[in-house]
């Protein structure tokens, strides 16, 4: 889709009313359900889970502010057909995630060059998957530094601008393509999980995509946003949903409602599972692999990095 360039002063900021959001969501839901099913392949998923993830994907892109950031007026937007409207929301004109090799190393607790060069030294090449790849700054540096020796694949729920030599797949982290099992030497996910609906599912998928003796760096922590939280709350019909935290920590007994409560109900089993893994010596079996997991703390929305090393098939 071609859009014209306008100065910020020329753009009237306009917003989608709730009824407009609901109508657009209804138009987009079939497309995103098909995309999830394509990535599932022959795998099975409970119909309720499929519905929740479809609602989440639509809400994650259908933000309250209409796509005026893509230089569209209200009249131009409503002159589009359903596919054009969807693409207007999916297309990310300018990425906001610009961390690269150095920053990834700081967040992961190890040098990215060291990890990549180890694979190149042993195999002649390396395969990388970055989940929540943002503006592709990490891959830009990798491609410049290791031209022809590193296969770069990114995952994003939106569509960043394409760049030569970098493959970007429009997908949810919770449902990666079926044929990615045991595919990548290094999988990274930094400060993207604060936008995920199901961190447990996304973590499992990241481990599945990692080679049996590969490495995963997965950063997780608090929820920042699920995109259009109000829309997702309406689609899931969870305005009155309640969740009470049961844990050994200081938040035990806290009661929450609405979409945040729903997110907690999906997320706490993952957090509890990580605690059990720690109690069991940080060794676990995940997605048919035996892995060691250690945790690195940091100060950010995603305050912990899981450093996962593959120990082979379980």
In tens digits, what is the pLDDT along the chain, a chain of 314 residues?
Answer: 344 444 444 556 777 889 999 999 999 999 999 999 999 999 999 999 999 999 999 999 887 666 555 577 888 888 999 898 888 888 765 555 567 777 878 777 777 888 899 999 999 999 999 999 887 888 888 888 888 899 999 999 988 777 778 899 999 999 999 999 999 999 999 889 999 999 999 999 999 999 999 999 999 988 999 999 999 999 999 999 999 998 877 888 999 999 999 999 999 999 999 999 999 999 999 999 999 999 988 766 678 899 999 999 98
Which range of residues forms the domain containing residue 73?
11-92
Q: Please tell me whether residue 41 adopts helix, strand or coil conformation.
A: coil
CATH assignment of the domain containing 293: 3.40.50.150
- Domain closes at, from 57, 92, 127: 92
Is the residue at 4 inside a domain? no
**According to DSSP H, which parts of 156-305 are helical?**
199-209, 229-236, 258-279
Residue 162 domain-assigned? yes
Same domain, 175 and 280: yes
Contact 241, 266 (CB under 8 A): no
**Residues 6 or more apart whose Cβ sits within 8 Å of residue 208:** 176, 180, 181, 182, 287, 288
What is the three-class DSSP state of 142? helix
Domains: count for the chain: 2
Same domain, 129 and 249: yes
In a domain, 1, yes or no: no
Residues 151 and 25 reside in one and the same domain: no
**Helices within 109-243 (DSSP H only):** 112-123, 137-145, 199-209, 229-236
> Based on the domain organization, do 169 and 49 belong to the same domain?
no
- State the CB neighbour count (10 A cutoff) for residue 258: 18
Residues 153, 49 share a domain: no
Dist CA 28 CA 86 (whole Å): 7
* Residues 247 and 117 reside in one and the same domain: yes
């Amino acid at each position: 889709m071609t859009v014209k360039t306008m100065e910020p002063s020329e753009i009237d900021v306009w917003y989608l009313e709730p009824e407009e959001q609901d109508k657009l969501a209804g138009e987009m839901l079939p497309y995103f359900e098909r995309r999830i099913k394509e990535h599932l392949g022959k795998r099975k998923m409970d119909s309720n889970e499929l519905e929740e993830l479809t609602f989440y994907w639509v809400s994650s892109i259908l933000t309250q502010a209409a796509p005026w950031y893509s230089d569209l007026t209200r009249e131009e937007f409503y002159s589009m057909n359903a596919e054009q409207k969807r693409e207007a929301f999916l297309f990310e004109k300018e990425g906001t995630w610009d961390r690269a090799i150095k920053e990834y190393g700081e967040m992961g607790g190890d040098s990215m060059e060291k990890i990549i060069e180890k694979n190149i030294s042993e195999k002649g090449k390396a395969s990388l998957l970055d989940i929540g790849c943002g503006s592709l700054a990490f891959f830009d540096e990798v491609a410049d530094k290791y031209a022809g020796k590193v296969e770069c694949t990114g995952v994003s729920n939106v569509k960043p601008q394409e760049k030569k030599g970098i493959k970007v797949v429009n997908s949810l982290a919770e449902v990666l393509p079926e044929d990615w099992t045991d595919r990548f030497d290094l999988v990274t996910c930094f400060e993207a999980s604060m936008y995920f609906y199901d961190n447990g599912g996304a973590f499992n998928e990241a481990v599945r995509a990692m080679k049996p003796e590969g490495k995963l760096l997965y950063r997780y922590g608090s929820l920042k946003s699920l995109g259009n939280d109000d829309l997702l709350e309406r689609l899931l019909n969870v305005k009155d949903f309640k969740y009470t935290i049961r844990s050994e920590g200081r938040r035990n007994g806290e009661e929450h409602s609405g979409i945040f409560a729903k997110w907690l109900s999906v997320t706490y089993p993952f957090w509890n599972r990580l605690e059990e893994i720690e109690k069991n010596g940080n060794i676990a079996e995940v997605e048919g692999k035996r892995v060691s997991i250690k945790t690195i703390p940091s100060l950010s929305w995603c305050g912990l990095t899981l450093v996962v090393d593959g120990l082979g098939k379980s």
